[in-house]
Each structure stands twice: as C-alpha cells, then as structure tokens.
Structure 1
Amino acid sequence: MISLENKIILITGASSGIGAACARIFAGTGAKLILAARRLERLQQLVETLHVTSLQIHLLQLDVCDRAAVESAISTLPPSWSDIDILINNAGLSRGLDKLHEANFQDWEEMIDTNVKGLLYLTRYIVPGMVSRGRGHVVNLGSIAGHQTYPGGNVYCATKAAVRAISEGLKQDLLGTPVRVTSVDPGMVETEFSDVRFHGDTERAKKVYQGVTPLTPEDIADVIFFCVTRSPHVNINEVVLMPVDQASATLVNRRT
C-alpha cells in the first residue's frame, strides 16, 4: 500500500458530492490537497470541516470548461504545489432527460464542455509533469452510463462513453511510463447530480432515489482511495460499482 503522506492530489468538482468526499478521505492521510471548483465559498466551507492545516490545502476557483483558465491555474501553481501526484477528474454533470430530437442545445454544450473537454484540459496540462517526474496517477470519474445507454440519456451517456475511451487511450499512450490511469464508473449515487440534471427541480430529483438505497459519495471516495494506494506496479484499470438495488442502468429494485 502506497503512503499518501505529502503527495499532492488535485480534485476537480471538489465543492460537493464525490469530490468533497474525496477531500475528506484524503485529508486524513497527510496528503496535500488542491481543491478546484467554480464555487469558492463552498470550498472554503468544506475546508473548515477537514481539520487540516493551511499548509495542506490550496484552493482553486476554476471552471474546467475554460481552457485558458485551466492552463493559467496549473502553470501558476506555487512551486510547492506544482508537482501533482494524483489527478482526480471528478467535475461533471448531467443536464436534462429529454429525447435527443427534443433536447436543449445548451444542455448538450454544458455536458460536453464539462464531462469531456474539461477532463481533457486538466489531463493535458498535468500529465506531462507526471511523465517527466516518473510518477503519477489519473483517476477519471466515469459512470455506468458510459457502458449502457438509457432512454433520455443520449448525450450524457455519450460523454461518459467518451470518458471511458479517453481513459483506455491514455493508459495505452502512457505504456512504458510509471503513470497509472483508473476509471471509476458508479451507478446510482445520491449527490446533487439529479438536482443539477433537472435544473433544480428537487421533488423530481428525490424520486430518482425513492425506495432505493443508493451509493453514497463516501462509497465512491473509498474505492478511489483503494485504487490510488495499491502497489506501484498495480493499475486498477476500471471499477464498475452499483448499489445492490441496481442491476443495470435501467433495472432498479424499488421498495414501496
């Protein structure tokens, strides 16, 4: 098991959900955390709960969709924070559950820009340093939606299929280096995901998890922690995990 003491871990989408859960689990390991998100105030609130020193935390207010902002954020990191050991590409979202021929163009743009292009930007600006230093690990947050398409999922499923392909391609491109690549692909996880998908319709979002015991953000963070702490010669390529109440993207056992 690899020690994370003083390892530098960058987590995108760290202000809530799986990203915040990752921050909590890694804060107790002695790692140094770069927490990135659009909502700086949410990051600051999270830090107050982590019981870490200021030397262990560096906050980035960052929209991963903005390539120039990503380049600037990574290139201007203080020297003591620039040698990133682990990148957790967690920032992502779903918008809408409409039929493709009836969907909102802006929803498509937001999902593609965040889930695919944002992940690519962070990877492109960080991985060269990992290669030159001879160490590193990229963890991409995928989804069961990248394996199985479901009605209304069209473009969201396409973006997560892209994450899966990017992860596989990156692993192949890094062959011959010690840099590891992992895709963690959950099923139903109770986060702000459905609130965001349904544009703040909380009642509709609640029905997604009704009668089901979904995964929690902590469940996913625990799996990510396992993947990044394996021996250096071990690469966990892909993890697909779902709650016991879910058998596929569309088969869910709901208790009344």
Structure 2
Amino acid sequence: MPHGQGHYLKLTWQGEARRVLVHDPPGHEGRSLPLVLALHGTGGTGRIMAHLSGLSRLADERGFRVAYPQALGEAGLADPARGAAWNAGPGLGCPPYPEANDVGFLQAVVDRVDQHGPVDPRRIYVAGFSNGARMAYRLALSAPWVAAMAAVAGAPVWGEAPVRPVPTLVFHGTEDQHIPFSGGLGQQGRRLPALPAREAAERWAALMGCGPASVSDELNAHRLEMWSSDACQVGFWTVADMGHAWPGGRPYAPGADLPVPDLSAAHLIWAFFEAHPLEAP
C-alpha cells in the first residue's frame, strides 16, 4: 500500500472478524499520540471516510493518529436494510446484526490501536458522519474515555444520562434531505424522525450541563452558536446551503451532495479537540 494511505489492523469482536484502517503521521514513531476515531455513515467504509473528511492529511500536519473502523454490513451499499452501519440505537444499525455491541467494539479498536502505537489516554476523540455521527453521540453517552466528539450531518441519540459531560462540536447543512435541518422525516435515508437540528443541539447542550445562553460567530454565510459551562462546551455550526455532506471535504459517493468549500470541518474539529483533553484524575 502506498505511503500515507494507511494500513489495516485486524481484530475479532463478538465472533466477527473486523478491521480498522489506521493512518499514522510520519516521523512520530514510538510517541504517544492523540487518536481520532472517524466513523463512516451507512454503507460507508474506512477508506470512504478518510476520503470525504480529509482527516488523514490534517493528521500529517498536526501530529495525531486517525483510526477508521468498519461497521458490520455490506460496505459500499447505502441501502439501510443491508449497508454497513453502526448500532447507535433502535433502527440505526444494520438489520442483519441487531445485537452488535459497537460501543464495546470501538473500545476494542482503541485498545488494538494502542497495541500498534501508543495512544495518549487523555486525548481520544470521536468524529462521525451521518450514521457515524449518531454513533459518536452514543459513545459520548457511554464511554468515559471520549475526551470530545464531533458530529457531522447526524442527529443525537437519547435515552441515558451521560457518564460525564463531553465537549461536542456539531455541523448540519440547511439543505440536508437525509436528516432535515428543520426536523422530521427526510426524503432520503432512514425513515426515522429527528428534532430540528438546532433544537437537538440545544437539548444536547443541556444534557451536558451547559446553560441556556449561547454566543454566536459567523464565517462567510455559516453561523456558530456555543453553549458553555465550567465543565463543557457544545458548539453548533449552521452550514448554509449545504446538503448531507462534510464541510470542506469531498462527496461520499458519486452524485452525493456537494460539501461547501468555504468551511473546513476537519480543521475546526481538530482545533476543538486540541482545546479539550480529558482532565487529569
């Protein structure tokens, strides 16, 4: 495999052979590095996630490791009935694998990557797209090792109190037809209703212990709102005139919605992650 493309690690979880694409930045051999778990959407693959997000290129610049795990189901098939998907909650996984414990699997991924190259335990982050974003929310509720998370074009999952407040950065396009910005059922994707995107972010911020007041900033036509507390921050980017896509990245498939070119989710996510390591015990 050409240099810079990454390499696969193998592991077995719940009797299934699984694999994870890992990208190591050059020149950091033997050093304890931050780790970003990057979770693909329905029907995706680790390689698709690397392609659409641009996180590997940024990892080379900033010196962090990226792991792109593979969900159960058929890779490269966007059909919700059979396509690879994370079991983030009822109706959100791959139907042939209803008992998949993907919270446990992703913990095993972190352990496996740490065997390959040391991981800084205070700087383990999760970023997800679409169904992968939902899984990132699920991890934030369940996994105490998540220092911060980012969700792109996904909706929160609910139903349990968080282990602890998790700093969160959210991006959602105003023209998303899979998980509509205004809420409800999308014309494409899974037939599951969602809250309006900003309302969901505000509710998530309250769950993380943030106060009701938010501050805002703007970049080009896009708008950031931030809810804060002493323990946590939750930011929400309204991405103007974008559909179901990763801002500043590439389309996830031929014919898919185009990302906006003037907002880089990868750079904003990494800046947010750098500012939020786990507090030392």
Please tell me the TM-score bracket, short chain as reference.
0.3 to 0.5
TM-score (norm 2): 0.43
Which of the two has greater strand per residue?
2
Greater RCO between the two (CA within 8 Å, min separation 6)?
1
Which of the two has greater helix per residue?
1
TM-score (norm 1): 0.46
